[in-house]
Structure 1
Amino acid sequence: MRGLEGLQGDTELIVSELVSNAVRHSTGPIKVRPIQHQALTCEVSDNDAFPPRLRRARAAEENGRGLFLVSRLSSRWGYRLIPEGKAVWAEQKLP
């Protein structure tokens, strides 16, 4: 996609965290969809209908930082329920 120079590192981490959560919390197929419009949106869908939960992990915890990282690296993020489960998305401003 054109015009996305400078977003590669953050985008890779965002997608990695969203896919990791989908793998951990769902049992079916996972879909990744990049959308470029006024921003770059990375959307990951899975068959788990439970909403994602942003939390702050304690220093000794090994898990629980994924959505915190997504929230820091994106201009906004959220989720929507879909017939198959849910789609979690993160939006980054274009350079």
Structure 2
Amino acid sequence: MKKLLIPAFIIVMGAGGAFANKMINNSGKAIVNGYHIDAAGQCVTDNQKCNTVGSIPCTWSEDTDVVLRLEPSSENPTMCGQELFEP
């Protein structure tokens, strides 16, 4: 009985560890629409997809000097959120 349970336990633990690792690696990422501040000072969407996690800033396709940000919060609808990154 021991000879059957120990290998089965090791296989189950390995599969559980692999699943947990996959969940951790994907937990912080999300693809979202980018927002920028227009000439009137409003935070507007440009329907460009960006990532919430990364190292290369996501820039607006019409002006690469403009870094895209998260959608505005309900408390302050004119202020864009945190910086976004290239997908």
Q: TM-score with structure 2 length normalisation?
A: 0.29
By relative contact order (CA 8 Å, sep 6+), the higher-ranking structure is: 1
Q: Which has the larger radius of gyration?
A: 2
> TM-score, normalising length from structure 1?
0.28
